[in-house]
């Protein structure tokens, strides 16, 4: 597995990292089993970087990741998690309301007060069955708490050895300027894929110029770039795809037309469309690792094998030319 180093650290991330986003909690036994198998299958194929967050599954996803990784040497994996989204306290700013596995509405708040950050870290360490976090990331900025207070707490965690390095997520270049005056963060996590290239406007250049790693999440745009999504697909009530503009019937049709153009290249490389999309993202300027999710071991294996694909300049030019025709 290809690895890439986060500048200024000794963290070498697998270029294909495991992203453990989950939209709800209350995993059924079969789902937990599949999730654990997916994580372990990823490791067996060289994936060493695993990204999660307390909000995924309302704590349950961290617990699953901790269980899955407990049988591997701790120094052979990088555990990445986040802080700053709370559902226990009604503090900060309301982020969104989700429906839990019992059908109850749960309000999620952006909140990164000092004591809250410290408490979140302790909870994550317990759920993940570890005594340190390799990369601890601010999940979303909290407008109600000064960055000074948030990163004072983070600094304490680093001094205590509970956190090795610190990253940020979903922040602007202006906010990164404010944060780096306070604390030497090393990475930024943002959505990035073939049909969501927003960060190319200013974020990519900022990170390259300031030697910050970029961890790309949603590299398959919630599965849309797999070629397996249809305009008449129906999703559960709480599924984020219901409010994702890329998932309107019209945009699904347009994306599928684009993916048809990639099929000859995928066939030539003997890979799937999803693998081709993952490798394209990994090969874009400034990208250190891509966070690919998997619900079962088959998907995990497919994702991990995308690291073995080699795309020439001619291949990339062909894909980019096809993208120019896509207007979403």
pLDDT digits (tens, 9 = 90+) for 205-221: 999 999 999 999 999 99
Residues annotated as catalytic are: 56
Phi, psi (rounded to 5 degrees) for 33: -60, -45
**Integer-rounded Cα radius of gyration of the chain:** 19
Alpha-carbon distance of 74 to 54, in angstroms, equals 20
Q: Which domains does the chain have, with CATH numbers?
A: 3-227+273-310 (3.20.20.100)
CB atoms under 10 Å from CB of 202, counted, come to 12
The pLDDT tens digits of the residues spanning 226-237 come to 989 898 888 877
Of the candidates 295, 290, 228, which has an alpha carbon nearest to the alpha carbon of residue 263?
Answer: 228
**pTM for the whole structure:** 0.93
Tokens of 199: 């960060």
In DSSP terms, 41 is beta-bridged to: none
Q: For 15, phi and psi rounded to 5 degrees?
A: -60, -35
Residues 6+ apart with CB under 8 A from 226: 220, 272, 273, 274, 277
Please tell me the distance from the alpha carbon of residue 315 to that of residue 271, in angstroms, as a whole number: 13
Q: What is the pLDDT of residue 292?
A: 95
Q: Split the chain (328 residues) into runs of 10 and give each run's mean pLDDT.
A: 95 96 60 90 97 92 94 97 94 88 86 96 98 97 96 97 98 96 96 95 97 97 90 80 87 92 95 96 97 92 96 95 85
First-to-last alpha carbon distance for the chain, in angstroms, is: 34
């Amino acid at each position: 597995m290809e690895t890439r180093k986060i500048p200024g650290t000794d963290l070498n991330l697998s270029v294909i990292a495991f992203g453990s986003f989950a939209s709800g909690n209350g995993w059924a036994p079969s789902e937990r089993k599949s999730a654990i198998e997916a994580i372990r299958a990823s490791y067996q194929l060289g994936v060493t970087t695993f990204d999660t967050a307390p909000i995924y599954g309302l704590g349950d996803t961290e617990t699953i990741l901790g269980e899955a990784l407990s049988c591997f040497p701790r120094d052979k994996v990088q555990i990445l998690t986040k802080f700053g989204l709370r559902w226990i306290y009604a503090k900060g700013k309301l982020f969104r309301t989700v429906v839990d596995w019992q059908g109850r509405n749960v309000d999620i708040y952006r909140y990164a007060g000092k004591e809250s950050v410290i408490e979140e870290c302790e909870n994550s360490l317990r759920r993940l069955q570890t005594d340190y976090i390799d990369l601890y990331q601010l999940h979303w900025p909290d407008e109600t708490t000064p960055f000074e207070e948030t990163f004072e707490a983070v600094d304490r965690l680093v001094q205590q050895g509970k956190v090795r390095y610190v990253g940020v997520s979903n922040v602007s270049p202006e906010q990164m300027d404010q944060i780096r005056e306070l604390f030497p963060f090393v990475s930024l996590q943002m959505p990035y894929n073939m049909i969501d290239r927003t960060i190319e406007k200013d974020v990519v250049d900022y990170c390259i110029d300031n030697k910050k790693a970029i961890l790309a999440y949603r590299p398959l745009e919630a599965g849309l770039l797999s070629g397996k999504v249809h305009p008449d697909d129906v999703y559960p009530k709480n599924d984020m795809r219901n409010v994702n503009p890329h998932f309107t019937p019209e945009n699904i049709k347009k994306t599928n037309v684009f993916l048809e153009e990639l099929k000859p290249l995928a066939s030539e490389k003997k890979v799937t469309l999803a693998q081709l999309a993952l490798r394209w993202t990994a090969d874009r300027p400034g990208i250190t690792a891509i966070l690919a999710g998997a619900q079962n071991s088959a998907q995990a294996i497919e994702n991990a094998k995308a690291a073995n694909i080699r795309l020439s300049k001619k291949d990339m030019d062909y894909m980019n030319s096809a993208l120019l025709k896509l207007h979403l």
